[in-house]
Every structure is written in structure tokens, then in C-alpha cells.
Amino acid sequence: VNVKMSEQQGSIKDLTTEKKQLIDERQMVKGRERRRLMDPGCKPCLHDWILFQKKCYLFYDEPAPWKTWEQSRRFCQDRRADLVVINDLEEQEFVSKHVKSYFDIQWGYWLGLQQTNNTWTWVDGHVDTLGFWMKEELKTPGPKARLMPGRNPSESWNKADSFFQNKFICEHEAFPRIPY
């Protein structure tokens, strides 16, 4: 019994030491992160991302081949973001201002908007209430939505099949700034 108790006391001592080391390591990481956030050189968005209303946007502008809706979403998620969710006309006007026409009128920029059970839903789970759809369809019906460049922002979304390859827009919350 004494041997067993000694082993358990040794284990407790080892665990206590390990816990203290982990707490110390956590404090060091928190301190580094705090210093990084207070750094005046620290930007709210990564290089090539654009800040607007506390969110960062990446307008994917690489040459062909472009990406399907799923590939685009995975690209964004790999960067701790997602396809853009439009919350109001002001945000819609902002993204519309930053997209450029390319190839021909059939190509646009994937949005984080998809049709599920006859309901258009954003990737964050909320149902679309804005409906900035184009008046005329481009004969590309499908369950995903694209923003078409060069259109009136309030009439610039177009439906498309998810296998089409397009450019896209990623979005994530801006990095917080801690005041001095």
C-alpha cells in the first residue's frame, strides 16, 4: 500500500509541475499576443485584404483557372475566413466597387449565398432578406450566388451552378486593436 501511495504522490507531483509549466507557457503566449495587438505596426487586416466596417475582405483576383463555389469556400476557410456575407446595401456597394469585369459577362464573384430547400441562405446561417438579384438572368441557373461586376449594386446577384469557376470574395472579422 505504501509503494502504491508513493507512486501516486510522485504522479501528483509530476502533474503539479506540468500544470505550472503550462500556466507559465500560457502567460508567455498571452503576453506576446498582447504586445502584438498593441504594436502600432499591427494592422487590422492581412496584406492584400481590405478593411471595411470592422471586417477584412479579400477579392480573389488570380488568373484562370478560377474556382468552383466549394473550392472558393475552402480557400477562404483555409485563411480563417469564409465567403462574403452581405448584411446591408452599404456593404453591397463596397464589394461592388472592388470587383472588376473579367473574361466575359458570364463570370462573376462567388458570394457566401446558396439555395437550400428553396430558401436563399448565407454561409453564416441567416436567410437572405436583401435580394439584390439581377432583373435579367444570364441563363446560368443554379443553387449558388455570384456578384456580377459592372452592374447596379442593388441588382447584381446572379444564380449559378456550383461547378462554374469564378473569382470570389472572402471575409473575416478584423483583428482587434488594444489601446495603449
**For the chain, what are the domain ranges?**
1-41, 50-173
| More confident of the two residues 11 and 88 | 88
Mean pLDDT of the chain: 87
Q: What is the rounded average pLDDT of the residues 5-17? A: 86
3-state secondary structure of 13: helix
Burial 16-30 (b: 16+ CB within 10 A, else e): eeeeeeeeeeeeeee
Residue 112 has a pLDDT of 97
Residue 113, beta-bridge partner list = 122
Note whether 157 and 111 are within 8 A (CB): yes
Residue 79 has a pLDDT of 93
Which residue in 173, 161, 179 sits closest to 44, CA to CA?
173
Question: 20: part of which helix (H) or strand (E)?
Answer: helix 2-38
| 177 pLDDT tier (thresholds 50, 70, 90) | low
Q: pTM for the complete prediction?
A: 0.73
Question: What nine digits make up the cell of 169?
Answer: 470574395
The per-residue pLDDT for range 33-83, each reduced to its tens digit, is 555 544 556 788 988 999 999 999 999 989 889 999 999 999 999 999 999
Beta strands in 77-154 (DSSP E): 82-83, 109-116, 119-122, 144-147
Record: fold of 50-173: Mannose-Binding Protein A; Chain A (3.10.100)
- What are the φ/ψ torsions at residue 56 (nearest 5 degrees)? -110, 140
Helix count and strand count (H, E) for the chain? 3, 8
